[in-house]
Amino acid sequence: MTARNFTIHNQREFASFSGDFNPIHVDEKESIKTHAGQPIVHGVHLVLWSLDALEIKLTQETELDIKFESQVNLNENILAIFDETKNQISITSEDQQKIYSKIKIKNLNRNISSKPKNF
């Protein structure tokens, strides 16, 4: 398990990396006009962060089945939890009462690290 929160600065950096400058992720004023009502974290940023932080290495054979169930707001404390029995990452609220995303990993071949990175 690893924890994090994302800031507007993180989203702007990710936008520069990914090319996704959608205002819902990077513009505090414009995002208020959207269905989210505020800036939200890029979904792909969540996926890449969780894979990296939990030290999950993908191969060409690996498949991801990703379900985005709810938006993650900026400055919200979240957890990435890996369930070895299901080969699944759940991205949840800090109290684990709300699930934001589920990432099912198929054809995974890795040893689980007891000390995930937290960056």
Summarised one tens digit per residue, pLDDT across range 22-79 is 999 999 999 999 999 999 999 999 999 999 999 998 888 999 999 999 999 999 999 9
Q: Where in the chain are the domains?
A: 2-106
Summarised one tens digit per residue, pLDDT across range 69-115 is 999 999 999 999 999 999 999 999 999 999 999 999 998 765 444 44
Shortest CA distance to 16 belongs to which of 35, 47, 42? 42
Q: How many CB atoms neighbour CB 79 within 10 A?
A: 17
Q: How many CB atoms neighbour CB 2 within 10 A?
A: 19
Rounded Cα–Cα distance for residues 54 and 108 (Å): 13
- 60 burial type by CB count under 10 A (0-12 exposed, 13-18 middle, 19+ buried): exposed
Q: Out of 3.90.1150.10, 3.10.129.10, 3.90.230.10, 1.10.10.10, which CATH number does the structure's domain 2-106 have? A: 3.10.129.10
Amino acid letter, 22: N
